[in-house]
Structure 1
Amino acid sequence: MKFGDVLLNFCEWIWRFMILNFLWVIFMVAGGVVLGIMPSTVATFYILRKWVQGNFDIPIFKTFKDVYKKEFINSNKCGFVFFALFAFLAFDLTILYKMEALYSTVLYIIVMTVLFFVSISFMFFFPLYVHFEQSNKDYIKNSFIIALSSPFQTLLILIGLYILSYIVKGNLGLVLFFFMVIPGYLIMHVSNKKFKQIQRSM
């Protein structure tokens, strides 16, 4: 492949990522942020899944808008469960942090571990949601199952996110354009391979 072709391909990817990240922000704000973040993120992962699978010809704006509208209510129902868990665990940590008893330290570590596990499950929720047709209950349950059964994929994603955060730390201007999409692409790419393994084993 010629250098010019490589450069053109690179620029096309940058453009795709910028547009998709822009749509994620706009539609999230359009939903009032709180109600917009779940359907906007689902729509983002839907398009990222298409790209990971080699489908680059989908109309980005139309596809994003259609998925956003279709999944607005359903994705927010799932999101409410996760956000309730996060709020409950954060409240517990606040209480335990103020306690001075020895057992509170042990409980603090346990709750922190649970919070980490819920965070990983939430991370896997979005690729799972756009890859399979399931009930809301199964989406949430299987997110936890995949998080528990995918230590290698989790480690791979965390290493990738750390590298990305290190790069962005020195180039804060990149956050505005790629904050969601590049980490999302990494998560979707790794998850897609995991899902293929699951489907082959069925």
Structure 2
Amino acid sequence: MGLEGVVWKLYSISNGIMKLIYLNALWIVFSLLGLVAFGFFPATAAMFAVARKWVFGETEIPVFKTFWKTYKTGFLQTNIIGFISALVGILLYVDLRFFQNSEHVLLSFLAFFIIFALFIYFAAVLYIFPMYVHFDFKTLEYLKQAIILVIGKPLNTIMIIVGSYLLYVVLSMLPVLWIFISGSLASVVLMWIASKSFPRHEFQAGGVE
């Protein structure tokens, strides 16, 4: 590789990093604009919408325009999806603590089923936003389809969980990255892994444009 090739490679890498930083900044700012509670889910969906474009080769898209369109049009729907998902997670955790603290043998045994349900739940949550920006379903259908995907494609499910864990390890080793690219990098990685689980003929169908 000649000098020109090295320079171009460095430019491509630095340009990619700057895009990740910019997208992460948009995610943080728009989460705050929604007072966090109501801004986090729309901002996360918008971030995944941009990540989807990048994953499928559309690297020169207008980032802000793509982000803002998804944030605005999906504000209500993503909040409904997000809060229902959060509520399910809370209920599962409360049930787990209840069964674990129970002195009844049968109830204690049921804790293992809740742990399994939490595993399915966690994996489904990782799929929800990639599915939201890729498919056009009714609101609650995203939750249903995410669970079906988790159960129907166990190898892909393991892959997305392992990928999330490895990403967490890398970010933990370099804490400064949490501020600058944690969200945007996670969205790209999860979108790429999740896309491998989607039907091939539907890769360009539906979704948020």
Provide the TM-score with structure 1 as the length reference. 0.92
Written as runs of structure 1 = structure 2, the 5 A alignment for 1:2-41 is 2-41=5-44
Q: Alignment length, in residue pairs?
A: 200
1:29 match: secondary structure: helix
1:91, distance to aligned residue in structure 2 (A): 1.4
1:130 aligns with 2:138: no
CA RMSD across the alignment? 1.7
Q: Does 1:121 align with 2:124?
A: yes
* SS of structure 2 residue aligned to 1:34: coil
Q: In 2, Cα distance between the equivalents of 1:70 and 1:21? A: 20
The corresponding residue for 2:167 is 164
Deviations 1:56-109 (A, max 9, x none): 222112221221011000111112221121121121122223223332332112
2:135 maps to 1:105: no
Q: Give the Å deviation of 1:162.
A: 2.4
TM-superposed deviation, 1:159: 2.3
Is residue 2:154 matched to residue 1:179?
no
Large movers: runs of 4+ above 6 Å: none
The answer on 1:66 being equivalent to 2:69 is yes
Which one of the candidate residues 57, 60, 63 is aligned to 1:57?
60
Q: Which runs of 5+ in 1 are unaligned?
A: none
TM (normalized to structure 2)? 0.89
> Which deviations, in whole Å up to 9, do the C-alpha atoms of 1:97-153 show, x marking residues without a partner?
322333233211211110121111111111111111111132121111111112122
Cα displacement (A) at 1:38: 1.0
**Which runs of 5 or more residues in structure 2 are unaligned?**
204-209
How far apart are the structure 2 equivalents of 1:173 and 1:125?
Answer: 27
**Identical-residue share of aligned pairs (%):** 29
Contact 2:130 2:191 (C-alpha < 8 Å) held by counterparts: yes
Give, in angstroms, the shift of residue 198 of structure 1. 6.2
